[in-house]
Structures are given as C-alpha cells and as structure tokens.
Structure 1
C-alpha cells in the first residue's frame, strides 16, 4: 500500500503516544510506502533517521483548522495528496479538518461525545459543559464530512460512535489500544526503586494518572477516613503521579498521610512503578480507553476500577468494579481485595487471559494495516 499517516491535528500526550508507537511499528511492515504528516508535537517524538527509505516525512507547523495558517495547511495537504496519490489516508485521531479525495480512515477516541450519561458532566462548570457541547456539534460535522471509515479503541466506543454519527456499523472498526513497548522489555530493576521501602503490612494502590477532573482522584479524601475507622490490619497507601501543586491544593491532610505522590513519571519507568505496587486503582468517570488496564494485566496486578461500560468492555472479568462516587462501596472493594488472596489471584489470572485480546504494539499496527487493506 501507498499510505498517508496524518497526525497534523495531534498535540495531546495520549494520542501522540499512540501515533508515535504506530509509526515506529510500521518499520516492521516494509511492503508498504509510508508518507507521514507530522504535527509539531508528534515531530518531537520522531527521529526520522531511525526509518528506512520507504518512509517519507513532512513537517507541519500549524493546525489545519485555524485561521489563515489553517487554510494554508489544508491547501498543502491537498497538494501533497495529489502528488502522492495514496491508496489510503489514515488520520490517527480526528477530526482531520481536511477531506482527502481518496479513501480516508479516521481514528476516534473522544469519550466526552459518546458518554453523555457520565457523572463527569455534573462535576464540571456549566461553561465547560457548554464548551464541550459546542465542540461536539462542530466535531460531529467535521467527522462526517472528512471521511467515511472510522477506527475506535473498544467495541463499546464503536457502537456509540455509530449512533453519534448515525452511520453504519460496517464502516467502523475496532482496534484496541495496548500497553507501551516498555512493558515488553525487562524494565524492572532489583536495584532501582521509585518508592520508599514499604512499611509493615503496607498495601499500595497505584493510580497512574494526571490530575484531571474525570480521573476522580479526590474521592481518596472520602475513602481514607473510612479506612482509618475500619482498622484493617493493613497499611493502605495510594500511590499518585499528579502535579505537586495540585496535590497540595486538592488533597486533605488526612488523605496525604496515606498517599505517596511522585509527580510526573516517565513512561519508561512505569513498569518499575507497577512492580512496586500491589493493585491498580482507577476511579475514573469517563474514558475512551485507558492503557492502565492492559498495563496492569501485563504486570500481573489486580485492577479496581469504575463500574461503567467503558471499563467493563476493556477489562471484562479481570477487574473488581465499584461505584466511583460512593466512597463506602470503594472502601468495601478495597477490603475485598486486600483480605481475599484468592480473589486477587483470580483477577490476575483473568487478566493474563484478557490481555491476549489486546496484543502488543506490533499486533496493533498489524490490525490497523489489515483494516486499511480490507477497505
């Protein structure tokens, strides 16, 4: 195939990681020619000298939507497409804000647009709800105008996207996200430790997430007092990776006594961090996909997470679910996991089976390419 990989709209951390991973994995499929359109953010993560001669890179300094510069970018995109004459254009995540003339596949991962029932919307301001709804209208228009085919990261998202855009399910494909390549490597050290030496009977719950409203991490402020009253015989600690300023601002003193906050952690250090914790704790209110789930499965730690469809579609029977707005329910599930060793082992074993559905980054890339071939 003669393939265009379009990343010109990407700037966020998660979408950039997916794009960069896919681009690098394409090296292992030399039968194709790759024309890669790079945003400034993606360009910083790519060393063009790592790639063989069947890769061609094009730098874009501006977003294709905004103002006169956006007009210039769209004109350049149309010119390049005509010159390249690709079999497929793949916009890793959309909307692309540009309508290719050839067959166009767009990745979709905006959970805000397809989970309107999420309690997240009750936690943000009216102004933010209005902003999201206006963007939802605009993005729905561009998604439908810019292309016909879509890729989502879960079956649940694919079904919801079909309803959101009012398009046939046959034009939507599911290719799961997965863990980072660092989890394939032997990234655990017996000498390097990110956390202090555990105290006696310490049980660590890892929340590997930035401080965003939808991550719902402040529920820890309500959980800790309940746990303190219960006197479990286990010293429960929550390991966070949030910005220090927000940590100081949003967490109570009582909660801080049960928290180890590391601040931002490099992706390459994440396997080590999992190895020093006992379970994954993710009380999130809304997601398209969280790589934390397959990461935990890969690292053999049990998962405690929210009881919503986006989580269940990913984890299935490999997680213990709770109501993320009910501190008592969360406390009950925490007690279950730390007192019932058989339950913990069952979740880990189920995770080992479930992770086979995700594959690794190479398998994800092959699934993308298989979708393009089928189209």
Structure 2
C-alpha cells in the first residue's frame, strides 16, 4: 500500500442519478489544477460514456481508468487487492463491499430505505419481496457501518444516520448535492430523437422506475386530467429497456418512454416539457427538482420533507398517494398560468433558488478535500 495513493471510486455506478453525480464530479476535476499526482479515478463504463459524450479532457487526470464493479461481486480477491493498494478510497455512492481492508474507507451515502425503514412502499409488497428487500438493505447497512466516514447530501440524512446508529456525528459530512454544470453550458446540450406534440400538455419525469419513485400513479393522473378537467396531457418517462419491459400494458399504453438519457440530453428534455412531476415517496436527495427549477419549469412534487428541504416554496406540492390531488394541482396551474403575470417571476425565483443551493465545482472541491485532507470536514 502506498501511503499517499488515493482513489475516487465510481466503478460501481451504472444507472440513475449516481451516474450523473459521478460524471459531474469527475468532469469538474478535469478543470482543476494541481490535482494530487497519486490520485487515481475509477469510472464505470456508463460514467465514462457520459464523460466522453460531454467531451471532457480525461487526459488531464493523473490516473483515470475505466473499471467496473457490481454490488457484492466486488468482494472477489482481485478487486480487493486493487483496493488495498490505496491509502484512502472515496466511493462516490456506496456501499463499498470490502472485508479485510487496509485503506481508509470514505463512502457516499444515499440509500433512504436504510434510514427510513418504516415506509409506505413496504405495505404494497408481497411477503417474499418484503423479506428480500429487508435482507438486501440490512446487508448494505452493515457495509455502510464499516465505513470510516460517510458523506451525505442533506442534513436530514446525517441526522437519521446518527439516530439509527449507523455512524456518529463525528463521522459524517454534509456536502450538498446540486445540478450538473452542463445545465448552464448550452453548447453541450444534445437533442432527443422523440416527437413531442404541441397540442397536449407535456409532463416529464427524469429518474429510475424504483418502487419508491411512485411512477405508477402517472396513468391515473393522466386519466383524471382528462375526465375531471378536460385536459389532454402526455406523460414522458426515462426508463431503461428492462424497466419499461417490467411495466404493465396499461402503463405502456398511456405513458411515453424516451429511454435513458445521457447528462447532456437532460436539459433538452426539460426544455421540451411543459412541467415536471416528481411523485417520489422516499429520497435522501434527488437532483430532479433542482434541474426542473434551473430550467424554469413548473415542478409538481410530492408533499414530503425532502422535497420541501430542496425546493422550499418553489414547487407545487401534492399528496403522492392521491393521483386525483396531483391532477387537481396540475389542472389549477395550467388553467390560470396564461393569465397569471406572476408565473414567469415565480419560475425565475425557482431558478435562483437552484443556482444558490450548491455548485458543481464546489461539490467536487469538497469531495476532493474530504479525500486528501488529514482532517475531514466536520458537520
């Protein structure tokens, strides 16, 4: 083990928001001077694909490698030997699966199922799925507890980790998440090959189709908009082929799937939408609300503490368990928006909120400081 050799590990990130965060962080590092010579960066195939799509100059990074690890399979001897060649390892989002390690383990935590184990989603699971899910997150929790230090995205996550005795208050650092800098770099934006009708209200969702994302309400919201408010709408999601195949026929007939987007396609997707919906029941943090605000799109969000923490008054909140309430809030907005002179001002204020929340270069700098500093940033 080289006492000065440190690793930023994004080898385990293959889907969803973790890929976007890793892409943003590594992309920002390419624009920093005086990076540690003994810094190594591991990016998964998917993170690497996004970085190259954005034309970041990866040659300026001292030691950049494409490495893939997949969950608990990372416990294999060869991978563990590679990890043990470092003095510190920062895994952007964990858990990091490691037993007999010799390095300092700094891990990003973003798993709400672990800190909010009593949640509404379990109630809708059958017995076997409930058992499998609880076992999965119990094992993940054990590996998170093995970390020397955890990095989280919002203060409520740090509090819950301490309350659940996963770490103590001295072993957790809050580094606010943010939207990617690409949202401010119009020249990097890439078009989406999908028709968007002009005669319907277009409502978009960016994210995975996890149960806690609560996307199953979309067909009902769409139906209520038509039957109760005579509003023609089209809902757009960004599911992978596997996620789309798992949807029932009703969902697939009512909802449009544009497929997984690269980071540089996301701004164009938001631009095409008339509004963004975020019905999630459970989050540590999601960048979707910030992205909607920075793109000045009306945001309809679940009435939950994590959304209020991020959006404040810059979202229109609805009961995520009541599709009719979501439809009513959407209808009310679009029935008055054309005659409401405050709407444009409200969207601009939302953009200001997103811009002030955090910055991509600031986040990357704080991550790097956590990795190379002898004294980690404390709460």
Rounded Cα–Cα distance in structure 1 between residues aligned with 2:67 and 2:263? 26
CA contact (8 A) 1:221 1:252 kept: no
Distance 1:204 1:197, change over 3 A: closer
Gaps of 5+ in 2: none
Q: How does 1:1-375 map to 2 (within 5 A)?
A: 3-33=6-36, 34-39=39-44, 42=47, 50-52=57-59, 55-57=62-64, 60=67, 65-66=72-73, 70-78=76-84, 80-81=85-86, 86=87, 88-98=88-98, 101-145=102-146, 147-186=147-186, 194-199=194-199, 202-232=200-230, 234-242=231-239, 243=241, 245-246=245-246, 249-251=249-251, 256=254, 259-341=255-337, 342=340, 344-345=343-344, 347-372=346-371, 373=373, 374-375=375-376
Secondary structure at 1:66's aligned position in 2? helix
SS at match of 1:251: helix
- Aligned-pair CA distance for 1:113: 1.0
Q: Deviations over 1:41-70 (max 9, x none)?
A: 555556699335661245656558438x71
TM-score normalized with structure 1 length: 0.82
Deviation (angstroms), 1:264? 3.7
Report deviation, 1:269. 2.3
SS of the counterpart of 2:236?
A: strand
Please give the secondary structure, in 2, of the residue aligned with 1:272. Answer: helix
Root-mean-square deviation (CA), in Å? 3.3
- TM-score (ref. length: structure 2): 0.82
Give 3-state SS (helix, strand or coil) of 2:316's partner.
Answer: strand
Distance 1:49 1:331 in 2: 41
Q: 1 CA distance for matches of 2:69 and 2:249?
A: 35
Q: Is the 8 A contact 1:187 1:269 kept in 2?
A: no
Q: What's the secondary structure of 1:35's corresponding residue?
A: strand
CA contact (8 A) 1:204 1:278 kept: yes
> Aligned pair count?
360
Structure 1 unmatched ranges of 5 or more = none
Which is worse superposed, 222-231 or 48-57? 48-57
For residue 204 of structure 1, report the CA deviation from its aligned partner: 2.1
Q: Deviations over 1:194-226 (max 9, x none)?
A: 433411xx4322122343322222212322333
* SS of residue matched to 2:176: coil
Partners of 1:325 and 1:120 lie apart in 2 by: 11
Quick one: distance in 1 between partners of 2:82 and 2:216? 46
- From the superposition, tell whether residues 191 and 366 of structure 1 become closer, same or farther in structure 2 (CA, over 3 Å): closer
Instruction: Judge conservation of contact 1:204–1:237 (CA < 8 Å) in 2.
Output: yes
Residues of 1 paired with 2:12 and 2:322: CA distance?
Answer: 38
